[in-house]
Copies of this chain bind each other. A is one copy, B any other.
């Protein structure tokens, strides 16, 4: 046999809708309809088409489709880090909510910097998402401009931005931390310390610190002791180091509040390693209600935030606008709940 002399091309292209249409003996338009839910195609035709699709191993090309339909089916979401279980939960809430809608998630991480967020927003806008979910309300000027002029719904989450761009699904980190302080003050603690990161990169962290300071003031307690340690997000290890530095400077601290449960867990383990009794010698509390806080020993008092629900509701808002329930497309603000969870560490 003459080598490669066959009339069939050596490497055939991936099949397109035209191939399917030819094989099924219909037009591409009918194939397109057959592959889209809720379009009217006769049963016989649909079966012929599906057979052709299977034979050829055809997979729809959405890039091409979205060019003509002007709908990409993408939703963008930007979180500070996916290696933080709180945000991973939010991402999952979004994904789960999108699943039934056929919308697909484009996920990106900012590493807690507004510059990276700006770059990400631009990179994602090149894909023409139909909506975007952001974490927090701090954006560069250019990012704000991009977001406002994109003509798509924007949801800011996890905070209550002073100047919301569009919709908001979040809570006041300041108030939440304040509530934690008040809860502990009611138990009799008076000398409070706070452990957080060094910079203002993590805006939620800064807001929690503000909430801490303000609550202490309002209660007329001795000024809080603040330890800043490490670049956010502050890790378990850094939580341990921070509590050491706190105890060196203010050995009589009665209760230490941490910007997140991870640092609280680090602080707790460090105290135990040093033979201190928690909460008798020192009380420790965190923020975020990570799984580890519930099951470590002693359990860590913390503030539970509805991470998953934030993602779910943010996605829901987007879907409503995108799928055009015609509803108010105004600046809507959804408050998500939080609650103090008291455990043995305080």
Chain A interface (Cβ < 8 Å from any Cβ of B): 14, 57, 59-64, 66-67, 72, 82-83, 85, 88-89, 91-92, 95, 104-107, 109, 122-123, 125-128, 145-146, 149-151, 235-237, 240, 262, 265-266, 269, 272-273, 291-292, 294-297
Contact = CB atoms under 8 A, between A and B. Distances in A.
A233 to B, nearest CB: 11
27 contacts: A57-B149, A59-B122, A59-B126, A59-B146, A63-B63, A63-B67, A63-B72, A63-B127, A63-B128, A82-B92, A83-B85, A83-B88, A83-B89, A83-B92, A92-B109, A95-B109, A104-B106, A104-B127, A106-B106, A235-B291, A236-B295, A237-B294, A262-B291, A265-B292, A269-B295, A269-B296, A296-B296
A266 B240 contact: no
Give how many copies assemble into the complex: 2
Contacts of A269: 295-297
Given A67-B64, A83-B88, A295 B272 contact: no
Contacts of A105: 107
A61 B126 contact: yes
Nearest to A237: B295
A234 to B, nearest CB: 12
